[in-house]
């Protein structure tokens, strides 16, 4: 980030990936007063307190875990465990589950964790499987989640598996193959295979023009973030400054980009609360 700002002299930053990485970059970009639009993380540390230079487009992990817990509880699944990566990303998701459960006067049944960049999930499998949960909310990387799901299923578990969007839906489905059937993933953008949604139709058309029809959630999110940035630049006008871009983005109140609404203000840089639930179907295809 220092190199981008000091050597490459970038005007703004876009789509940083991950909680620990974006968290580390925040003091640098804040001091330099360089806007960051659309980081690929739902962590609360980027949202509260509001950072003048960070604009979150996607819903937060709190929004996602609330939707997952709501879905589990509404279908009678009240014994809920959590499998999480032991870093700022996993802990952000865990906190979201705790808040959602607390609202309902419920407690997490069991916890299992995995170290970042490892797939050592045996202890987590043992602990969580012994508790016999109705559902497991998972906040980790796709490699460790795939290993966890495989080992749980092979240990005879019939629990419902739920992920937050950051896992990378396609990577998880590809990794799990047939064992992915029924695994649920919350999404923070519309279904990329639904051209009836105007922003999805536009995304599909532009992708197809570029010779790419491999539609997926991540590239649709990138497309939406780019649209937000372009709208901000347009509103900022010809004599561009970073402060003008910040003010322009903050003026985007309830802007409909095509059935995907973004709502910024000087007191809120959390653009969207959109959360949808999907499931891995037969052959790794996604179902709504």
Q: Give me the domains of the chain, ranges plus CATH numbers.
A: 2-60+217-262 (3.40.50.2300), 61-191+276-287 (3.40.50.2300)
Q: Given this model, what pLDDT does residue 141 score?
A: 96
Q: Given this model, what pLDDT does residue 67 score?
A: 98
Answer positive or negative: Cα dihedral of 44, 45, 46, 48.
positive
pLDDT digits (tens, 9 = 90+) for 42-101: 999 999 999 999 999 999 999 999 999 999 999 999 999 999 999 999 999 999 999 999
- Closest to 67 measured CA to CA, from 159, 164, 161, 142: 164
Q: Given this model, what pLDDT does residue 265 score?
A: 98
Q: Given this model, what pLDDT does residue 32 score?
A: 98
Task: Kindly give the parts of the chain with pLDDT less than 50.
Answer: none
Is residue 213 within 8 Å of residue 205, measured between CB atoms? Answer: no
């Amino acid at each position: 980030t220092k190199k981008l700002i000091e050597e490459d002299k970038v005007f703004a930053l876009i789509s940083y990936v991950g909680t620990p990485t974006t968290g580390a970059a925040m003091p640098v970009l804040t001091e330099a007063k360089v806007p960051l639009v659309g980081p690929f993380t739902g962590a609360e540390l980027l949202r509260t307190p509001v950072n003048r230079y960070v604009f979150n487009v996607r819903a937060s992990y709190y929004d996602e875990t609330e939707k997952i817990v709501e879905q589990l509880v509404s279908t009678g699944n009240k014994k809920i465990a959590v499998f999480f990566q032991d870093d700022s990303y996993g802990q952000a998701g865990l906190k979201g589950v705790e808040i959602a459960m607390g609202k309902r006067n419920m407690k997490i049944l069991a916890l299992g964790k995995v170290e970042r960049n490892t797939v050592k999930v045996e202890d987590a499998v043992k602990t969580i499987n012994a508790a016999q949960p109705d559902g497991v909310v998972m906040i980790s990387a796709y490699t460790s989640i795939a290993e966890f799901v495989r080992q749980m299923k092979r240990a005879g578990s019939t629990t419902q598996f739920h992920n937050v969007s950051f896992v990378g839906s396609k990577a998880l489905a590809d990794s799990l193959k047939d064992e992915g059937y029924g695994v649920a993933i919350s999404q923070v953008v519309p279904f990329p295979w639904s051209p009836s949604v105007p922003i999805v139709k536009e995304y599909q058309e532009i992708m197809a023009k570029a010779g790419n029809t491999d539609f997926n959630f991540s590239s649709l999110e990138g497309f939406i973030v780019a649209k937000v940035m372009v709208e901000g630049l347009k509103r900022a006008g010809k004599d561009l400054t970073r402060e003008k871009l910040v003010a322009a983005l903050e003026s985007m109140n309830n802007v409909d980009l095509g059935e995907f609404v973004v709502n910024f203000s000087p007191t809120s840089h959390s653009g969207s609360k959109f959360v949808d639930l999907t499931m891995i179907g037969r052959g790794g295809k996604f179902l709504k």
